[in-house]
Amino acid sequence: MDDLRGRVALLTGASGGIGQAVGRLLIAAGVRTAFTYRSRAEVDAATWDRTMAVNLRAPFLLAQRALPGMAGRGFGRVLFTSSVAGFTGGIVGPHYAASKAGLHGLVHFLAARVAERGVTVNAVAPALIEGTAMLPGAARPGLVPVRRFGRPEEVADLALAVLRNGYVTSQVLSVDGGAYPR
C-alpha cells in the first residue's frame, strides 16, 4: 500500500535537519503527524541514562503500545531513526553509539514478531547529513565516496519509500553516501 493519506505518524527528533524533512514529506503525503524533540547534553552517567531512555527505551515503549493495534488492523509501519554510529561507534560518544546499536537489535526483534500481520519495522541510519547537529565540524565531503554531504531531504525520501513498502522489514538502511559500506 503506497498511499499514506489518512495514516497517523509520531515523529520524534523533529526539531530540524532530517526530522524536519521527514515531517514535511509526511504532511505533504497527507499523514497526520505529531512531533517531539529534545535538546543536547554532555556525557556523564545522567546523560548516558537519558540517552538510553530517549533513543532506546522510548522507542521500545512506544512500539509496545502501538504494535498490537497495528497488528490487529493488519497494517502498520514503524520506522526508527538510527545512525551509522550504531554500526561504527561514531564520534558523538559511547552513549549515543550504544543506544543506536541497541535500537538496531530492537528493529530485528520487533519485525520478526509482527511481519506476518502486515506490520513492518525498520530504521534509517544516516551519516554526514548537512544541516544537522550530527555533522562533525572536521568532516570533509571529499571523504565521502559521492564527494558531498547528504541532504535531509534525501533521508526523508528514503524514509517515505520504506513507509510505503510493505515488503521491506527488519532492515537498518544506511544513508551515508557510501562512506560506511557493509
Active-site positions?
Answer: 96
User: What are the residues whose beta carbons fall under 8 Å from the beta carbon of 49, sequence distance 6 or more?
Assistant: none
3-state secondary structure 39-105: CCCCCCHHHHHHHHHHHHHHHHHHHHHHHHHHHHHCCEEEEEECCCHHHHCCCCCHHHHHHHHHHHH
Angle at CA of residue 33, ends 26 and 125, nearest 5°: 60
C-alpha cell at 176: 551515508
